[in-house]
Amino acid sequence: MDCSSSKETPPHKAWWTGETVAVVTGANRGIGHALAAAAELRARGLPSVRFRRLDVTDSASVAAFASWIRDDVGGLDILVNNAGVSFNEIDTNSVEHAETVLKTNFYGAKMLIEALLPLFRRSSGTSRILNLSSQLGLLNKVRDPSLRSMLLDEGRLTEQQVEAMASRFLAQVKDGTWQDHGWPAVWTDYAVSKLALNAYSRLLAARLRGAVAVNCFCPGFTRTDMTRGWGKRTAEEAGRVAAGLALLPPADLPTGKFFKWSTPQLYSKL
């Protein structure tokens, strides 16, 4: 499904109903706002949008949100993990806020997913998770051969190893040695957070195969607050593509893929 064209394309027959529940995080601005508040989901047939406060870095906030989904909403079908931060300017590479970046972009997304997983109305082809990620976190950005080899070995890779990788980076930031260990060279803290999110997503896709589809989406260089208004496309354009991927027909829905814009990529080839 190519959602990059500015022309309207004939919609697929809706697989969802008025009971379908989609959760979009980070919907107060940027791509998340374009996806939720600019009626992308409603225009495709979902009846309403409700906003709810959520801090993905706060375990109490995540627990309260999960309780609300369980008790008031009754479960969910779609999760779009869009909440994310970066504190670098376009041409800088500071790691001053590395802990906050990883806590939001990786640990926070993971904590929310694990809290909501029991609440998915698991149905093959309809239940899905879409994690907003970045090609800055792809394997071709990793300059440490041993780290790249570990991440490529999906048969042995574990979630514990992914978390240990993130913790190791933060420890190296604290002791000032992070530049000596082959981490991605551009927006390093942000790239490592997405490297960890990509790896976790692939493992999660394998764990949930047949029950919940899990994919990642890179919107590319998009004009948002994070990029200080720089970029090749608007948040609205990225929101339309994200909506298209989040609502792929069951027959077209893959799992364990990384979408660069609207095209699925192989991790090992990037």
Catalytic residue list: 190
Q: What is the dihedral of CA 127, 131, 135, 138, to 10 degrees?
A: -80
Helix, strand, coil tally for the chain in percent (to 5): 45, 10, 45
The 3-state secondary structure of 71-92 reads HHHCCECEEEECCCCCCCCCCC
Helix, strand or coil, per DSSP, at residue 233: strand
Q: Please name which of 185, 212, 214 lies closest in space to residue 197, comparing C-alpha atoms.
A: 214
Helices within 7-123 (DSSP H only)? 30-36, 40-43, 59-68, 98-102, 109-116
Query: What tokens does 50 get?
Result: 């409700």
For residues 103 and 57, the answer to whether their CB atoms sit within 8 Å is yes
Using CB atoms within 10 A of its CB, is residue 158 exposed (0-12), middle (13-18) or buried (19+)? exposed
Q: What residue ranges in 112-247 does DSSP mark as E strands? A: 128-132, 213-218, 222-223, 233-234
Helix, strand or coil, per DSSP, at residue 136: helix
Residues 6 or more apart whose CB falls under 8 angstroms from that of 144 comprise: 181, 182, 183
